[in-house]
């Protein structure tokens, strides 16, 4: 049954798929694969290879993430994957798509250059932290139909998306707006090395995430309520202070 979860219509989201088989990195292609093979640019191939390796599969959403990340780099005139922290990316959903973006841009949670705005949307905003230039990118509404035109011998829509997304011109695949952030990026990034102790629970708070109530620093859990409730404490010292 076709779902509205369009990019994974024919096969499940994470159908196991030989990493980068469509871009021919790992193994010789069978004749059937050759028949609907597409040749993506070396930069796209490299990013897809990395995204697929971290996931053990390659799917259309990873391709979308890769294409968005590479387009953003082009628009920002920056080289990717970055080895510094110049590009900061807000992804509007998690999953395979976010891995494609991470592979293409080098932005990562671990580098504090990737942030999830959990809107459930396959979209992302890429910011040049030095200039403030920012672009929000999302898939064109027609991208699935257009993909089929770029992968005419694909056996199904999923495969047409997987292949077509790799080679379509960015302007047919994606939509893009120049945007201005309404959040304070400097505050989101915070000052490295700053630590505060929560007056409620005694735990350490990094990155200036404390909330001041009457001048008293509190973690968000103590200030606004936590997303967990304690059932029992296990180790000595695990009890709330
Ligand atoms: Zn996937
Ligand atoms: Zn606390």
Strand partners, 116: 91
Mean pLDDT calculated for residue range 68-79:
98
Q: DSSP secondary structure string, 16-61?
A: ---TTGGGTSSSPPPHHHHHT-----HHHHHHHHHHHHHHTS--HH
Match 């294409």 to its residue by tokens: 67
Compute the radius of gyration of the chain from its Cα atoms.
21
CA 19 to chain centre: 18
pTM of the prediction? 0.82
Ligand nearest to the CA of 209: 2
Mean pLDDT calculated for residue range 157-161:
96
- Own/partner contacts of 73-77, CB < 8 Å, gap of 24 or more, are 73/104, 73/105, 73/126, 74/170, 75/126, 75/133, 75/135, 75/176, 76/126, 76/128, 76/133, 76/135
Tell how far the Cα of 159 is from the centroid of ligand 1, in angstroms.
12
Tell how far the Cα of 118 is from the centroid of ligand 1, in angstroms.
17
Ligand nearest to the CA of 15: 1
Tell how far the Cα of 80 is from the centroid of ligand 1, in angstroms.
22
Strand partners, 114: 89
Contact by Cβ (8 Å): 66, 55: no
Summary mean pLDDT of the chain:
86
- Whether 24 has a pLDDT exceeding 80, the answer reads no
H or E stretch covering 89: strand 87-91
Tell how far the Cα of 50 is from the centroid of ligand 1, in angstroms.
13
Tell how far the Cα of 167 is from the centroid of ligand 1, in angstroms.
18
Contacts of 32 (CB under 8 A, 6+ apart): 155
Ligand nearest to the CA of 220: 2
Ligand nearest to the CA of 57: 1
- Summarised one tens digit per residue, pLDDT across range 111-158 is 999 999 999 999 999 999 999 999 999 999 999 999 999 999 999 999
- Whether 11 has a pLDDT exceeding 50, the answer reads no
Q: Rounded to 5 degrees, what angle do the CA atoms 138, 141, 145 make?
A: 120
The rounded distance, in Å, linking the Cα atoms of 165 and 177 is 20
Tell how far the Cα of 118 is from the centroid of ligand 2, in angstroms.
24
No. of H helices and E strands in the chain? 9, 9
Contacts of 187 (CB under 8 A, 6+ apart): 208
Ligand nearest to the CA of 199: 2
Ligand nearest to the CA of 240: 2
Tell how far the Cα of 198 is from the centroid of ligand 2, in angstroms.
5
In this predicted structure, what is the pLDDT of residue 167? 96
- Whether 1 has a pLDDT exceeding 50, the answer reads no
- Whether 89 has a pLDDT exceeding 70, the answer reads yes
Domains of the chain: 6-185 (3.30.1330.130), 190-241 (no CATH)
Strand partners, 196: 205
């Amino acid at each position: 049954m076709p779902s509205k979860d369009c990019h994974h219509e024919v096969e499940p989201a994470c159908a196991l798929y030989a990493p980068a088989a469509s871009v021919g990195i790992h193994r010789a292609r069978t004749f059937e694969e050759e028949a609907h093979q597409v040749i993506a640019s070396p930069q796209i191939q490299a990013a897809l290879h990395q995204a697929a390796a971290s996931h053990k599969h390659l799917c259309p959403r990873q391709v979308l993430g890769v294409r968005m990340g590479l387009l953003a780099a082009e628009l920002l005139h920056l080289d990717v994957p970055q080895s510094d922290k110049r590009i900061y990316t807000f992804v509007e959903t998690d999953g395979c798509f976010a891995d494609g973006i991470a592979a293409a841009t080098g932005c990562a949670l671990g580098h504090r250059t990737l942030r999830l705005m959990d809107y459930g949307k396959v979209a992302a905003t890429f910011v040049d932290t030095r200039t403030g230039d920012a672009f929000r990118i999302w898939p064109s509404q027609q991208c699935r139909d257009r993909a089929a035109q770029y992968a005419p011998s694909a056996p199904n829509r999923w495969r047409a998306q997987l292949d077509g997304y790799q080679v379509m011109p960015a302007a047919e695949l994606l939509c893009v707006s120049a945007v201005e952030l309404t959040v304070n990026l400097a505050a989101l990034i915070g000052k490295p090395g700053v630590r505060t102790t929560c007056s409620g629970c005694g735990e350490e708070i990094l990155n200036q995430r404390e909330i001041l109530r009457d001048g008293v620093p509190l973690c968000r859990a103590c200030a606004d309520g936590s997303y967990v409730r304690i059932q029992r404490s296990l180790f000595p010292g695990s009890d709330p202070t």
